[in-house]
Amino acid sequence: MTPAAALPAHSARPAAARIASVTGRAARQARFAATVESIGHLVPPSPWSGRVHSVFARACNVACGELLLTIGTRALGDGPTTVLLAGNPGDLRGRFAEGERIDAREGRMRSARTELDLAAARVWRPAERGALVSDVPLEARLRELSVQLVARRAPQPNVLDREARDIAKALADACAVLDVAAARAQADRLIGWGEGLTPAGDDFIVGLLAGLDALARGDAFRLAFRDALATHVAASTQRTTPIAAHALRLAAAGAWSARIDRLLAAVCCSGDGERDAAAALDELLALGATSGADTACGLVAALHAWSHAPSFAEAA
């Protein structure tokens, strides 16, 4: 009798298989497990595979095709391509490594060290927008918002407060008169301009596209202008960082984070606008080092540009 034959039937497997089973189980046991709280509505349905692009304390970017998915803690907030973790997963730099593979299948996302359970996750998508407020309260809310934004930007100015200020204003002016050529030219100058992960110019354009989308009011000329600018921006994203490029492509397609969506709703739609807008602005300003403030600038610029209902003269 061979030693193997003396073993119980369930153990009579090749040694390599037994070892693989044990080590595989150990690897699974060693994985950090976390529950996903919410998934952005544009996260691809599984199965898919991606690679970790960059890791920060509270966010891990995963390249998946042309999309850049973000796994983050609750503090990051919902977004169209964001996977938010429940509870406190700790510093994500200890959970993921740049370049490692992530597989999503059968309700789970797995990397070498981490396994995320998607089973109980809710799908985040933008809330349905309420009816737009009329011009007068909209302008009052915008004035208040502008005052707050200027005050909040003062301690931490960047290129949008200096060299790029006139360019950003010229872009907003081009939006107001629906001058596509001028808008494209100014957008070209802003894309990729500024320090950091998402240059200030890109954040401004993301906010601007969101604001234009909110106040197009179904007007064919405004819609055509917004589409033309968005198409141009989406085609120019190779001129900025991969992270900013992803945000620009999403914004061009009409998708942005929950923070932006809430600020738009608070300013443009019925409700307790002033109080809601202040809270939503606080929430957006908390994003990144200056990204939230730069995005808010673009959003406010677009809302100012299109705060009046479209007129025949404007369209002409």
Partner 1 sequence: MSATTTRSKVFANLYKDSVSLMQLTAQLREREGVAQASCVMATPANLAQLKDADLAIDVSPSPSDLLVVVRGEPQACDDAIAAAEASLQSKKAASGGGEAARFNPNAKAAALWTAKVLTHTPLPRDAPEAGASRGSGEPPSWS
Residues in 104-133 that interact with partner 1 by CB under 8 A:
104, 106-107, 118-119, 121, 123, 125-126, 128-132
Q: Among 154, 142, 181, 151, which residue's Cα sits nearest to residue 301?
A: 142
Confirm or reject binding of residue 64 to partner 1 (CB under 8 A): yes
Stretch that binds partner 1, among 26-34, 147-155, 198-206, 278-286 (CB under 8 A): 198-206
Contact 239, 264 (CB under 8 A): no
Of 86, 170, 185, 234, the one binding partner 1 (CB under 8 A) is 234
Of 13, 139, 254, 308, the one binding partner 1 (CB under 8 A) is 254
> Applying CB under 8 A, what is the total number of residues that bind partner 1?
86
> Rounded to the nearest whole angstrom, what is the least distance from the CB of residue 204 to partner 1 in the complex?
12
Contact 154, 196 (CB under 8 A): no
Residue 123 — φ and ψ, nearest 5°? -95, 120
Residues in the chain, total: 316
Positions 29 through 48 that interact with partner 1 (CB under 8 A): 39, 41-48
13/139 with CB nearer partner 1: 139
Dist CA 282 CA 274 (whole Å):
12
Residue 202 — φ and ψ, nearest 5°? -70, -45
Residue 254 zone, left/alpha/beta (φ > 0; ψ -120 to 50; rest):
left
> Rounded to the nearest whole angstrom, what is the least distance from the CB of residue 231 to partner 1 in the complex?
10
Identity of the residue numbered 133: V
Residue 68 zone, left/alpha/beta (φ > 0; ψ -120 to 50; rest):
beta
Confirm or reject binding of residue 67 to partner 1 (CB under 8 A): yes
Positions 1 through 30 that interact with partner 1 (CB under 8 A): none
The pattern of x and - marking residues 132 through 171 that bind partner 1 according to CB under 8 A reads: x-----------------------x-x----x--------
Contact 249, 205 (CB under 8 A): no
How far from each other are the two terminal CA atoms of the chain, in whole angstroms?
96
Question: Could you give the angle at which helices 220-234 and 242-252 cross, rounded to 10 degrees?
Answer: 160
In this structure, what DSSP letter does residue 94 have?
Answer: G
Of 238, 272, 312, 316, the one binding partner 1 (CB under 8 A) is 238
Confirm or reject binding of residue 197 to partner 1 (CB under 8 A): yes
Stretch that binds partner 1, among 22-30, 70-78, 185-193, 272-280 (CB under 8 A): 185-193
Of 189, 271, 278, 310, the one binding partner 1 (CB under 8 A) is 189
176/224 with CB nearer partner 1: 224
Dist CA 214 CA 133 (whole Å):
11
> Rounded to the nearest whole angstrom, what is the least distance from the CB of residue 217 to partner 1 in the complex?
6
Confirm or reject binding of residue 239 to partner 1 (CB under 8 A): yes
13/125 with CB nearer partner 1: 125
Contact 62, 68 (CB under 8 A): yes
Confirm or reject binding of residue 191 to partner 1 (CB under 8 A): yes
Confirm or reject binding of residue 250 to partner 1 (CB under 8 A): yes
Dist CA 96 CA 102 (whole Å):
9
Torsion angle in degrees (nearest 10) through CA of 284, 286, 290, 294: 10
Positions 211 through 230 that interact with partner 1 (CB under 8 A): 213-218, 223, 226-227, 230
> Rounded to the nearest whole angstrom, what is the least distance from the CB of residue 172 to partner 1 in the complex?
18
